[in-house]
Structure 1
Amino acid sequence: MNVMGLYSGIDMSMVEQIMEAERARGARFTQQKEKYTKSQNAWRDMNTRLDSLYKRLEDLQQPDTFNSKSVKMTGPSNVGVTATSSAATGHYRVQVQQLATQTRLVGGKVNIPEDGDIRTALGLTKGEITLKIGEDKTETIEIDETDSLRSISDKINNSTANSGIRSSIVDNRLILTHTEYGEKTLVVGGSLANDLRFDGVTAVIGQVSKFTIDGLSITRYSNTIDDVIEGLTFNLTNVHNENDSTVISVTENLDKAAEALQKFVDQYNSTQSFIRSQLSVGDPSAENNQTGMLTGDGTLMRLQSSLRSMMTSSKSHGTSINGLQGLGVTIDRNGTASFDRTVLDKQVRNNPDEVSRFFSSSERIIETIEDDEVNLVTNTRTERKGFSQDMRTFVNQYISSSNGIIKSRRDTFDRMIRDVNDRITRFEERLEMRRNRYIRQFTALDTAMMRAESQMNFMFSQLGMNQNN
């Protein structure tokens, strides 16, 4: 390489030009790899969109999507209400007359040793306190000189499961509270009752809650009541004035149903729009026509057609609903879906259970199997049906991570890309070998020319010497 080009004029720059021309022949491999990669990415994007569609279909399978209830309150906010799908629609007038409370006993301030705190031993003589709950229950708490106010409170709490009494400490006072609401008596006795400042202290007796619903008087041992009206839970928070009340209105939650169906329609349109872009042939007459990466792909065209067919099907799925169009979803000639909420609202308002069954229902299947041709074995399984289940089953054929169609396509492209990479590697190796061969050949040419020139110079020099002689 030191003499290359000195005589022949063929230097490294000319070799690189030759190699550039040779390398251009391998551009088809790079282009092929780029096409495979873009196609693989297109299927990856397709999988993402179908997965989102699958999840939107799952929302439509939930029973409370079409059976959920909304609660509206008019008047003082002295009561909170939550409703489940089983609640009946209607209006209820509620008046809270009394909140349920717990029996509570506050002891006097206990003398803590100087420079101590609630964890400092009180130095009491060994003894006990007794908690008398009601007429027939007594709990004894053993105490010794090593106990602090904190440890005594802990001992009371350790027996809560049996006594029903909880203890807390506020300003060096033991405060005892019954875990249950209502009229529960509580008296503290025992040899150390006075030392812990329970002498002369009486409990504030708890009470039950009292309220009316549409004038009907109700009493409960709690402020949270879920056994008065099916599907409704009342949380009493304050007492009404004598002439005040709160009106509770329970209605169908039309927003939840409409939102779920609208999101599904939007995702369907997004999926179909992406498919159209990938199958597009563009404008063949244009000079720089741009086509989709999956133009002419039969698998994608079948997916496009099948999705549209399922959306336009009039299958009722065991209900009186005539396909999605019976719920306000229609498909135009371009394959784009539109949603008229008023149609769905009417259906949900009149028969939410039927709308729910259209999208998803369960059926028990009993199968009888012969065992050894003698005994019969009965097997029971549950089968999901409905529009959502049918479309999810179809979509899963494409997006399944184990044996889905898209996984198979992507695996195929992986193999094709690896094959192209191997070809590129072998091509580059051949180019490098050819480059080295050119260098050797042109270097040899220059070396030969240099030797020839040297020999000619020597010959001419010898001829000149002879003439002089």
Structure 2
Amino acid sequence: MSTSSSVISSVSSASSYASSDVSSIDWSGLIDDLYSAKLSATSGYDDKISVNDLKISAYNEAIDLLGTLRGAASTLRAVTDSTASNADVFLGRSAYLTGTGGADPSSVVTVSAEPGAALATYELAVNQLATSHKVASGDFSSSASALGLSGSFAIGVEGGEAATIAINEDMSLAQIAATINQTSAASGVRASVLKVSDASYQLIVSTLETGQTLSVSDGDGVLADLGIVDDRGAFSEELQAGKPAIFTIDGVTVSRSSNEVDDVIDGLTLYLVGTTGTGQAVNLEIDQDLSEVKNAVEAFADAYNAYRAWALSQQETASSGGASGKAVLFGDSTIRAINQQLGSALAFSFDDVSMSSIGLSFDGSNYLEYDEATLNKALNENVDIVQQLFSYKFESSSSDLGILYRGSKAPSTFTLGITVGDDGKISDVTVDGERGLFTVTGTGHGLKGAAGTAYEGYTLVFSGSTSQTVTVKQTAGIAEQIFNAAKGATDASSGSIYTVLSNLTDKNGDYQNQIERITDRADSYKTNMTARYARIRANIIKAQAMLAYLNALMDAQAKN
């Protein structure tokens, strides 16, 4: 009897536990809580990524600002590569024109001066402008009606290739002009229709270029029918003869086929627009474009101040102490090094000439400010001082050695031992007695700094025919130093900021991989728990069904 009582007691206890309503259990919530607990391990990595993203954004802002500063410095640093002369503001030239004898310069000529053109003065007198050869046809009542002409003719310019123009009876004056123009590139001739009056139209034929003469051949008589040539083959109505431009430069007579002349004075293009009268001339003075130099100095100061404002924002402190929330690069060693380089560059001076000599100074927050009157005076009285203060200067003890490209790490003074072989080419070169720092280029007259040395980036050109010892002295002015500092920070392949950005990006990639691993494990855990809880639920339901069956069976036995 005791055994039977024990079984009944166990079943009764089980019935009490299993009698809970399975549907009232929040299985999904329970699983989600467990899943969230697993995922919570990712929050630390998310926080690290967010911090790094803020730093990346700040570094990119620094790159943009330093890039602008680098560009502003580039115009003031002076070039050694002639292909970059357009970027050197000190090579900028302006042409100043004045008339003599009552001449109006603007009605005679305009002048364009290339960077680096010689600073000089010239006297110009224009006797004749270049003109294109131009002839007209007879009068026609319509430009669109068929003319009933057929045949062909050849047309071109003297000394050139003629084009054959085929005409049929259905073609109008406008269509003939269009057909001529289809061959203009080869023939050097163009045509147009001139509306003389409401009932009168003429075909106008002219040379594309000035100073040339039309040449025609009218085997089928089409040009004669058009009234362009007479019965002898001569032009019926010559509107304008093709003439060259004739002018004098400092009394020397010059003739050119065009009014755009770029081969008389090196670096100058003359655009002739009118002639001078007897006793009249135009004086051309080619001088440095000081306004562009001034604009470049002001742009440089503005670019530096923009970066300075950003740098100060990264040094802000909170009222409670420590870094401000916006100063995500507070105390950053990379930015601190850049700031020190910029500050050192701005402290550059030579022969007691410094920024203050041209009106530049620092305010209380180390922003650059300039006194316009002092800057104007410096530019007008001695622009060379401004150039030396900002630019790179290369000096060689031999006129046979020049520089084409320059690096940024070579010492301010070094001595080259150049050995020239029997073939007139460089056979050996040393730097302060050491070999391997320069290599001889294929031409045998060039020297290129070896990669990985302080002379990397330098390319020197030697025109001498005998062995020499040459001392090189170089000076890096404010703009040169700041350009190099900005380049060293922002160069996409080796810049200090890009190095940090690469590290941050790699770290974010590692953190993201950790997040993905944790998430994958949590997903697997959730899947397993969902399956496990499904089995538990099924077992509970099964147990409840069994309990219900046993209860029913016991009730039946009790009734019997």
- TM-score, with normalisation over the residues of structure 1? 0.70
* Aligned mates of 2:185, 2:521 — CA distance in 1: 84
Secondary structure at 2:22 match in 1 = coil
- How far residue 310 of structure 1 moved from its aligned partner, in angstroms, is 1.1
* Structure 1: unaligned runs, 5 residues or longer: 161-165
* Aligned mates of 1:142, 1:34 — CA distance in 2: 72
**Is 1:15–2:23 an aligned residue pair?**
no
- How far residue 413 of structure 1 moved from its aligned partner, in angstroms, is 1.7
Q: Which among 313, 316, 322 is matched to residue 277 of structure 1?
A: 313
**Is 1:221–2:255 an aligned residue pair?**
yes
Query: What is residue 259 of structure 1 aligned with on the other side?
Result: 295
- Please tell me the residue identity of whatever aligns with 2:336: M
* Aligned mates of 1:51, 1:311 — CA distance in 2: 17
- Tell me the alpha carbon deviations over residues 33-70 of structure 1, each in whole angstroms, 9 at most, x when there is no partner: 22222222322222222222222122223444465336
Q: Which among 31, 44, 54 is matched to residue 47 of structure 2?
A: 31
Give % identity. 16
Query: What is residue 436 of structure 1 aligned with on the other side?
Result: 527
Aligned ranges for residues 43-442 of structure 1 at < 5 Å? 43-60=59-76, 61=78, 62-65=87-90, 67-69=92-94, 71=96, 76=104, 77-82=106-111, 84=113, 86=117, 98-102=127-131, 104=133, 106=135, 109=138, 121-122=150-151, 196-197=229-230, 198-199=233-234, 220-221=254-255, 235-238=271-274, 253-285=289-321, 290-314=325-349, 316=350, 322-357=353-388, 358-363=390-395, 364=402, 368=418, 376=428, 379-380=446-447, 381-382=459-460, 386-387=476-477, 388-442=479-533
- How far residue 153 of structure 1 moved from its aligned partner, in angstroms, is 11
What do you get for the CA RMSD once the two structures are aligned?
5.3
- How far residue 360 of structure 1 moved from its aligned partner, in angstroms, is 3.5
- How far residue 13 of structure 1 moved from its aligned partner, in angstroms, is 2.1
- How far residue 23 of structure 1 moved from its aligned partner, in angstroms, is 2.9
* Aligned mates of 1:247, 1:19 — CA distance in 2: 88
- Tell me the alpha carbon deviations over residues 395-433 of structure 1, each in whole angstroms, 9 at most, x when there is no partner: 222222222222222221222111111111111122223
Asked whether the equivalents of residues 4 and 443 of structure 1 are also in contact (C-alpha less than 8 Å), the reply is: no
* Aligned mates of 2:217, 2:557 — CA distance in 1: 147
Identify if the C-alpha distance between structure 1 residues 269 and 208 changes in structure 2 by more than 3 Å, giving closer, same or farther.
same
Asked whether the equivalents of residues 313 and 327 of structure 2 are also in contact (C-alpha less than 8 Å), the reply is: yes
Asked whether the equivalents of residues 130 and 246 of structure 2 are also in contact (C-alpha less than 8 Å), the reply is: no
Identify if the C-alpha distance between structure 1 residues 206 and 416 changes in structure 2 by more than 3 Å, giving closer, same or farther.
closer
Asked whether the equivalents of residues 279 and 293 of structure 1 are also in contact (C-alpha less than 8 Å), the reply is: no
- Tell me the alpha carbon deviations over residues 5-52 of structure 1, each in whole angstroms, 9 at most, x when there is no partner: 717734212332343344334211111122222222322222222222
Asked whether the equivalents of residues 52 and 504 of structure 2 are also in contact (C-alpha less than 8 Å), the reply is: yes
- How far residue 102 of structure 1 moved from its aligned partner, in angstroms, is 4.5
Q: Which among 450, 458, 464 is matched to residue 555 of structure 2?
A: 464
* Aligned mates of 2:166, 2:508 — CA distance in 1: 82
* Aligned mates of 1:168, 1:405 — CA distance in 2: 63
* Aligned mates of 1:88, 1:458 — CA distance in 2: 115
* Aligned mates of 2:309, 2:44 — CA distance in 1: 31
Identify if the C-alpha distance between structure 1 residues 55 and 35 changes in structure 2 by more than 3 Å, giving closer, same or farther.
same
- TM-score, with normalisation over the residues of structure 2? 0.60
* Aligned mates of 2:419, 2:281 — CA distance in 1: 63
Asked whether the equivalents of residues 134 and 207 of structure 2 are also in contact (C-alpha less than 8 Å), the reply is: yes
- Tell me the alpha carbon deviations over residues 364-409 of structure 1, each in whole angstroms, 9 at most, x when there is no partner: 26652699xx964675444985433333222222222222222222
Asked whether the equivalents of residues 161 and 187 of structure 2 are also in contact (C-alpha less than 8 Å), the reply is: no
Identify if the C-alpha distance between structure 1 residues 103 and 24 changes in structure 2 by more than 3 Å, giving closer, same or farther.
closer
Secondary structure at 1:390 match in 2 = helix
* Aligned mates of 1:152, 1:447 — CA distance in 2: 95
Identify if the C-alpha distance between structure 1 residues 252 and 403 changes in structure 2 by more than 3 Å, giving closer, same or farther.
closer
- Tell me the alpha carbon deviations over residues 156-196 of structure 1, each in whole angstroms, 9 at most, x when there is no partner: 99798xxxxx7867677686769776xx9999999999883
* Aligned mates of 1:225, 1:144 — CA distance in 2: 33
Asked whether the equivalents of residues 89 and 251 of structure 1 are also in contact (C-alpha less than 8 Å), the reply is: yes
Say how many residue pairs are matched: 439
Asked whether the equivalents of residues 102 and 180 of structure 1 are also in contact (C-alpha less than 8 Å), the reply is: yes
- Tell me the alpha carbon deviations over residues 210-253 of structure 1, each in whole angstroms, 9 at most, x when there is no partner: 8899xx97755355677999976654434578899989887753
